[in-house]
Amino acid sequence: MARSNPESGEPRSACSAEFPATRWSVVLRAGQATSPGVTEALGQLCRAYWYPIYSFVRRRGYETEEAKDLTQEFFARLLAKHYLDTVDPEKGRFRSFLLASVKHFLANEWHKSQRLKRGGGCQILSLEDQDPEQRYRLEPVENATPELIYERRWAETLVAQVLNRLRQEFIASGKGQVFDQLKAFLVEERGEVSFADAAGRLGLTEGATRSRVHRLRERFRELLLAEIANIVASPQDVEEEIRHLLSVLAD
């Protein structure tokens, strides 16, 4: 549960520095186990990061409806744990695992799924409410490889997850409008957003606004570290994954 910073009233995490005990690290340790907790952990990850897979499939040349079917069938099989025994825990980044798995699926296993329709009648991960094609239409027309598109959308999805969690913290403390005014300091290049303008909109001094932005950036980094910790196998992998994330976003 979030708690407030006593100096600012802004939300803070009670356990932000801890490495999560669940999610991808638990999935790796469990392997083929059928524990409901493991299934839910993997399901949460898949729901959060389905769009990079869809964009990869579309960039491979599949049309909209077939790409939806392929993406849903892929996740249905993944959640049935058909692929987990292939994961090497020493190289267990969820990002890399998903990409390798979907490549294998597209190359060797889609013909087997023709006898099934969208997860064998069980909508494990429905795309009907997601409208992935609406997002895909906004993709730039470029010569980027499917792999590069996947990496970029992965990075953007991860950052979006963190921004949403940070905004929910501010909303919970009654400061949603403050976050909306200061969010630009997280997503724009430094120097492109005016502290003076933000201070005027918030009714604060410029110095107070700078202090809030500093705390906002610190909290964003804490949540980013926590989110990345959810999708790598060990705490030692977090910094390397951050470097990869930043390099992808910089391209």
pLDDT over 50 at 15, yes or no: no
Whole-prediction pTM: 0.76
Helix (H, G, I), strand (E, B) or coil at 12: strand
* Residue of 212, 231, 223 whose CA lies nearest to 159: 223
Q: Summarize pLDDT for 72-83 with one digit per residue, the tens.
A: 888 888 877 666
- Cβ neighbours for 234, distance < 8 A, ≥ 6 positions apart: 25
> Given this model, what pLDDT does residue 212 score?
96
Could you give the residue ranges of the DSSP H alpha helices within 140-194?
Answer: 146-172, 176-182, 184-187
**Residue 141 pLDDT > 70:** no
**Average per-residue pLDDT for the chain:** 78
199 vs 94, more confident = 199
In terms of DSSP H, where are the helices of the chain?
24-30, 36-48, 50-59, 64-79, 94-104, 132-136, 146-172, 176-182, 184-187, 195-202, 206-229, 238-250
> What local confidence, expressed as pLDDT, does residue 188 receive?
84
Q: How confident is the model at residue 21, as a pLDDT?
A: 42
pLDDT at site 82: 62
So what's the pLDDT on residue 142? 67
CB neighbourhood size of 43 (10 A): 15
In the chain, what percentage of residues exceed pLDDT 90? 34
Q: How far is CA 239 from CA 25, 224, 244, in A?
A: 16, 11, 9
- Contact assessment for residue 177 and residue 185, using Cβ atoms and an 8 Å cutoff: no
Q: Where are the domains of the chain?
A: 20-139, 144-251
How confident is the model over 40-62, as a mean pLDDT? 87
What pLDDT does 197 receive? 94
pLDDT for 22 beyond 60? no
Q: What's the pLDDT score for residue 195?
A: 94
Confidence (pLDDT) at 81: 67
The percentage of the chain sitting over the pLDDT mark of 70, rounded to a whole number, equals: 68
CB-based contact 245:228 (threshold 8 Å): yes
